[in-house]
Structure 1
Amino acid sequence: MEITRKDKTVTLTWEKGEVSEGTMVFVSSQATLEANMKPVFIVTDDVNHYTYETKDVPIYFFLQTPNGDKLVISERILPLESVFNFRDMGGYESKNGQHVRWGKLYRSSNLVHISKEDTELLQKLHIKWICDLRSSSEVKAQPTPAIQGVLNKHIPIGTAKNEETTLPITNDQAIYEPLMGESYRVFVQSMEGFKEIFDEILKDAEAGVPFVFHCTAGKDRTGVLGALLLTLLDVPEKTIFDDYTLTNRYQDEILAEMGGIISLFANESEKIDLETFRPMAEARPAYLEIAFDEMRKQFGSVDKYLEEGIGITAEQKAAFQKLLLE
C-alpha cells in the first residue's frame, strides 16, 4: 500500500488482492482511532484506491477487514517545507507480525532552518525531544533553534561531545567512498551515545517518545541509529535496509547541505566541485553493511552488539517493544 499527497488530497492506493472486499477504511489526523468514528469508505473488488480531501499533516488510514483484523497506514515522508528527509518510522512489520507504532519515532535531516509552520507541526506531533547526533563543531556552526515545549539534547555519534569534526577537502572523488566506510566503523564505537539515547527513550521523564533524531543530512549517523532502533524491534534486516535507502531520494538536497558544511573546513580560495562528494551523499546499502559487519566482528551479531556492546538488557528490550510495537 502507498500514500501519496497532492494539493489538498491524500490518496491511499493498494494492489489488487492486497485489501479484501468489505474492508472498512477510517481516517484520522491522530495515530489512534476513536471508538465512535465512522468508516469513510468500504473496499470493493473493482476499486484500488481511496482519496481523502484534507490539508492536515499527518493523516492516518485505519483498515478493518471483515474478519476483524486491523492495520494502520500513514505517510512515511512528511511534507515539511523547510526540512528534508523527515520520516515517520512507524508501520514496519516485525518478525512476529506486530507493527511499529506510527507517530513515535521520527528521523530527519538537521532542523537548522526550520520554519514557523514546521515548528508548529513538530509541536502538533507532540515531539518530546530532539536528539542531535552531530559533532560539537557542527552544532556550534549551525545550532538548532529552540522550540517551545521540545527538549533539544546533543548526543553525538562518531565523535565525543568536545571533539571537532575534520573533513579532508579534495577534488579526488576516489577517497570519499572508503572514507564513508571508515566513518560507519567509527559510528559503531559510539556505544555510550547509543546507550544514552535508548535510556532517554525508556525512562520517559523529560524525553521518551515521540522523538526525532537527526544528524546533518539524516543519512549516516541517523541511518545507523534508525537501523539499531528497528533491530531492537525485531524488524527484518531487508526492511531495515529499505528504510535506510529511502534517503537516496534526497541526494541533491544532501549535496547542497554538504556544501555549507564543507565551507566550514575548506580554504576559501579552493574551488571544490560538489559532485566530487556524491559518494558521501548516497545512502549505499554497502555503507550500512560495513557498520553491521563491524558489530558482528566485535560481538558476533547485531543483536549481541545491542545486548553486550550497548548494554540493552532483556527486560529493557521487552519494555522497548511494549512501548513501540502494536
Structure 2
Amino acid sequence: MPERRLRFDLAWNVRDLGGYTGAEGRTVKWGRLIRADSLSRLQEPDLDRLRALGIRTVVDLRTSAEIDAEGRVALDDGSVAYHQVSLLTALWDPATYVPEDGPEAFLVARYLEMLADPEAPMGAVLSHVVSPAAHPLVFHCAGGKDRTGIVAALALGLLGVGLDDIAADYALTAEAVGPYERWFRATYPERWESHLSMPPPYTTVTASAMATLLPQFLARYGSFEAYALSRGLSAERVAAFRAALLEP
C-alpha cells in the first residue's frame, strides 16, 4: 500500500490524500492530491522527490507577503503549473486570541471566517483542485495545517469521505510539529523565543478543531457540494472530480 506521509528533508507535513473510503464505498485514488507545508524550502534531492510524484500543478495558498519573504517552490522548468491563490487577505493577528476560550474555539472561528469570506478566492482554489487535468496536484500553505487543512477537508468531503476520516487526516499534522520545530530552532535560534511566544493555535494541532468545525459547516451550507456550488463550481465538475478520483 502507498504511504500516506511522504518523506522530504525540508518539508515535514506532506501527505497523500489517497486511500480513504469515499462515495459509494469507493476508495480515493493514491497519488492524485497531495497536501503539504511550505515547498519554498525544498532543495535537491527534495525537488527530485517532488518531481518523482509526477506533479503537474502546485497551488500555493500563502499571501504575497509570505511568498516575497520566503520564495516559492523551485520548479521552474515549465513542466509544472504554479498558481498562487491566497486564502487570507492578511495573516491572523495573535492579539485576537483569547486564552480563556481556548485554541479550539479560536481555530473554528477562523476557519468559518475563511470559508465564508467573500474576498477569499475559495472557488478558484477548488476549481484547480477538482480539475482532473491538473492532477497530480499539490496544494500548500506555510505549515500545512490551517489553510491547507480546510482545502483538504473540502476536497475529501466532495469525494464523500466520512467526517471522522476528514478530522483524522487533519490531526495527522500533529506528527509534523516536532520535526519542524527542531529544524526551526537549529536554523533560526535567534527567532526561537518569538516562535514559542505565539499562541497555541498557531503552533500546535488541536485535533478536535476539525471535528467541531465540520458539523457547523454542514449546518450552515447543507453539504460539501452545496458549498462548492455556492463558490461557482458546477455539479458536473464535482461529478467529474469524483469520477476521476474514486476507484471504480
After TM superposition, the score normalised by the length of structure 2 is 0.83
The one-letter code of the counterpart of 1:218 is G
1:181 equivalent in alignment to 2:108: yes
- 8 Å contact kept, 2:225–2:238: no
- In 1, the alpha carbon distance for the partners of 2:182 and 2:107 equals 18
Residue 26 of structure 1 aligns with which residue?
A: none
SS at match of 2:173: helix
Answering whether residue 31 of structure 2 is matched by residue 103 of structure 1, we say yes
Distance 2:94 2:207 in 1: 23
Which stretch shifts more, 138-147 or 218-227? 138-147
C-alpha distance after superposition, 1:7-36 (max 9, x if no partner): xxxxxxxxxxxxxxxxxxxxxxxxxxxxxx
CA distance in 1, matches of 2:96, 2:231: 35
CA drift of 1:288 comes to 2.2
Q: Which residue of 1 aligns with 2:221?
A: 299
Residue in 2 aligned with 1:278? 200
| Deviation for aligned residue 1:242 | 1.0
Aligned with 1:312 (options 227, 233, 237): 233
Q: 2:135 — aligned with what?
A: 209
Aligned to 1:280, the other structure's residue is in SS state: helix
2:17 to 83, 89, 92: 89
Hey, what's the Cα distance between the residues in 1 that align with 2:183 and 2:98?
20
Distance across 1 between alignment mates of 2:97 and 2:112: 24
**Where do 1:1-326 residues align within 5 Å?**
73-147=1-75, 148=77, 149-157=79-87, 159-160=88-89, 164-165=90-91, 167-168=93-94, 177=103, 178-190=105-117, 193-203=121-131, 208-255=134-181, 272=194, 274=196, 277-289=199-211, 291-307=213-229, 309-326=230-247
Given the superposition, is the C-alpha separation of residues 212 and 193 from structure 1 closer, same or farther in structure 2, using an over 3 Å criterion? same
Which residue type is aligned with residue 211 of structure 1? L
What's the Cα RMSD here?
Answer: 3.3
- Residues 211-258 of structure 1, C-alpha deviations (whole Å, 9 max, x = no match): 111111111111110010001101111111111111111223455688
Structure 2 counterpart of 1:317, one-letter code: V
Q: Any gaps of 5 or more consecutive residues in structure 1?
A: 1-72
Unaligned runs of 5+ in 2: none
- State the Cα distance separating 1:295 from its structure 2 match: 2.8
* Distance across 2 between alignment mates of 1:231 and 1:172: 30
**Cα deviation digits, residues 110-163 of structure 1 (max 9, x gap):** 012102111112112110121111122211111114302222211111x23xxx
Q: 2-side partners of 1:109 and 1:273: how far apart?
A: 17
SS of the aligned residue for 1:116 comes to coil
Instruction: Report how many residues are paired.
Output: 242
After TM superposition, give the deviation of residue 313 of structure 1 in Å.
Answer: 2.5
Of Structure 1 and Structure 2, the greater strand share is in: 1
Q: Distance in 2 between matches of 1:276 and 1:223?
A: 20
Q: Which has the higher contact order (CA 8 A, sep 6+)?
A: 2
Q: Distance in 1 between matches of 2:82 and 2:32?
A: 16
For 2:165 and 2:27, the matched residues in 1 are separated by 12
Give the conservation status (yes or no) of the 8 Å contact 2:170–2:207: yes
The letter for the 2-side match of 1:250 is A
Contact 1:217–1:257 (8 Å) recurs in 2:
no
Structure of higher CA gyration radius? 1
